[in-house]
Chains A and B, each alone.
Chain A
Amino acid sequence: MIQEYDLVIIGRGAAAFSAAIRTSEITSNQASIAMIGFGPIGGTCVNVGCVPSKYIIEAAKVVSTQRNPRYPGIKQSDPVVEFGKLMESLRGAVEEERKSKYEDVLKFYPNITMYEGRASIISRDTVKVTSKLGEEDIKGYNFIIATGSSPMIPKIEGLEDTGYLTSDSVWSLNELPGEIGILGGGFVGLEIGQALHRLGSSVRIIKKHDTISRGIEREVGSELIRALENDGISFLIGRDVEKVYQRGDKKIISTRYKGKIEEIEVDEILIASGRKPNVAGLSPENAGIEYSDKGIKVNDDFSTSNPLIYAAGDVVDQKYRLETLSAREGAIIASNIFNHSSKGINLQEVPWAIFTEPQLASVGYTEDEYNRNFGKAVVRTIPLVMVPKARILREDIGLFKIVADEDTGKIVGIHVLAPYAAEFIIEAVIAIKNGYTYNDIIENSHIFPTVAEGIKLTSQSFTRDMTKMSCCVE
């Protein structure tokens, strides 16, 4: 007999768990839920995304501060990095997080049944789960597709034969590559690149364009590249990778640069060319669901073109791919289904960050975007050195930029490159969400001295000349 569930969730990452837990809360654990997935439970974030990347970044920071003490009088030292041990501890941390935040949590929800396998949609109310054990059909009254995304592998001659790492496989390394070439330089490449560089690899980021990726405030992106170059990472910009091959025990990345062939010799290649939605083999078209190579098309309430089927997280065709966003979408969908509501998320109020050092954190419109859409942005940018705490930290690369509406003074975007930026961008989120003006920001007392004060100082710069201000002027 075919099992029938109140809710069938395809996927078992952040979006799926969030949807399942919220559904359970709303229905007092009475909705029967099937969760289908393969690979380690918890999906990308805990296993191969946020958790291991932030772990290695923090470890690499420790090495970097010892190697480059910021203050005169503190002697530089060269810590010995036992990379194998570090990676073993990283994998241990991932396992612990997966156990405590995913596996153990399931015990509280007897209404959730896990299915191991790959799902493909058969019809509006049936999916087929294929596993080593065979095939099984499952029926549901409600469906959520939360199949996530995977590293996009560019079509480059010789790549498959030469071998490469991705953000899925880099965590199983036990030996630090001496020289590493990173193809593409989105946030994943920059974060992992800086960490490996600080642990001792020589890192070259090979890119076509001089921007980090679309949608980043230009000045902030270029300042981040400057900061990373200053840290010791090489950016090889304007390169088209033509082929890759093995020469002895080296990997050769053959690029075209200014019309000539330029060969780059490395020990390892890391592909960081973005991510693709996991729709292969899923057959959303069998339920009338529209999708493209950017992901599943959704309406404001995350319903798909089949109004009875929803989609959440990285598989959705949307501007950001973030753990927090995926989880919020899962929770909102659960509420939309069981409360019969139609809530959405305003992406202009969703912050995102690159956890390099300094950190890039951003929310809302860039200057260009606002001008393109509304034609009337007014902006202010201050360099990080204007912030007293940054001078105490002896950090000089970074900036704060605020984009506001020219007529109302309401803040519509804040973009920061600074130490701890990811920790304090929430002030910007609250400002944008509540329609605050730069004057509203100034009227809130900020702690002195903090890097976060940069947001207040930038707000002040809309109406005052910051070079004439003493450090504590309110």
Chain B
Amino acid sequence: MTEKKVTMRVFGMTCDDCVRTVTDGLEKQGADVLSISLSNGIAIVKIDDAKISAENLIKAPVFGEESHYKAQLRRVE
């Protein structure tokens, strides 16, 4: 297991419900959500790199083409 801290920019969140939907979507991929800020769209999560890579996490269904939310990686540590 390689634990990584991933900082991402999430676009499209406008209310607390959105934050919940995105949190659920990330958790479904096995990510541990440390924080999500509605004001600046920054999400910080912990992942097990052996299970899901940071690159695949931002392609999760919650950020899919039909979804209202989009994500981009900002830092992987």
Contacts and interface: CB of A to CB of B under 8 A. Distances in A.
A31 B58 contact: no
Interface in A62-87: none
Given A339-B65, A340-B58, A340-B59, A26 B74 contact: no
A171 B66 CA distance: 44
Contacts of A341: 65
A256 B29 CA distance: 72
Given A338-B11, A338-B70, A340-B59, A30 B41 contact: yes
Contacts of B11: 6, 26-28, 30-31, 338
Nearest to B11: A27
A28 B74 contact: no
A141 B72 contact: yes
A6 B70 contact: no
A26 B58 CA distance: 15
B56 to A, nearest CB: 10
Interface in A301-349: 335, 338-341
Contacts of A28: 11-12, 14, 68
B9 interface: yes
Interface of A: 6, 26-28, 30-31, 141-142, 335, 338-341
A129 to B, nearest CB: 23
A352 B2 CA distance: 53
B12 A6 contact: no
B32 to A, nearest CB: 22
Contacts of A30: 11-13, 41
Contacts of B63: 340
B74 to A, nearest CB: 7
B9 A6 contact: yes
Interface residues of B, number: 15
A339 B60 CA distance: 10
A27 B12 CA distance: 5
A24 B64 CA distance: 16
29 contacts: A6-B9, A6-B11, A6-B72, A26-B11, A26-B70, A27-B11, A27-B12, A27-B70, A28-B11, A28-B12, A28-B14, A28-B68, A30-B11, A30-B12, A30-B13, A30-B41, A141-B9, A141-B72, A141-B74, A142-B72, A335-B65, A338-B11, A338-B70, A338-B72, A339-B64, A339-B65, A340-B58, A340-B63, A341-B65
Contacts of A141: 9, 72, 74
Nearest to B56: A340
Interface of B: 9, 11-14, 41, 58-59, 63-65, 68, 70, 72, 74
A335 B12 CA distance: 14
A338 B58 CA distance: 10
Contacts of A26: 11, 70
A31 B40 CA distance: 10
Nearest to B14: A28
Contacts of B12: 27-28, 30
A31 to B, nearest CB: 6
Nearest to B74: A141
Nearest first, the 8 A-B pairs at minimum CB distance are A27-B11, A30-B11, A28-B12, A338-B70, A339-B65, A340-B59, A27-B70, A31-B11
A411 B11 CA distance: 43
A27 B41 CA distance: 11
Contacts of B59: 340
A335 B63 CA distance: 12
Given A27-B11, A141-B72, A340-B58, 13 more contacts: A6-B11, A6-B72, A26-B11, A26-B70, A27-B12, A27-B70, A28-B12, A30-B12, A30-B13, A141-B9, A338-B70, A339-B65, A339-B70
Q: Which of A30, A31, A335, A341 has the most CB of B within 10 A?
A: A30
A27 B59 CA distance: 15
B35 to A, nearest CB: 18
A339 B59 CA distance: 8
B48 to A, nearest CB: 21
Contacts of A339: 64-65, 70
A27 B65 CA distance: 11
A20 to B, nearest CB: 14
Contacts of B74: 141
Nearest to B40: A30
Nearest to B65: A339
**Residue of B14, B58, B70 contacting most chain A CB atoms (<10 Å):** B70
B28 to A, nearest CB: 18
A339 B72 CA distance: 9
Contacts of B58: 340
Contacts of B9: 6, 141
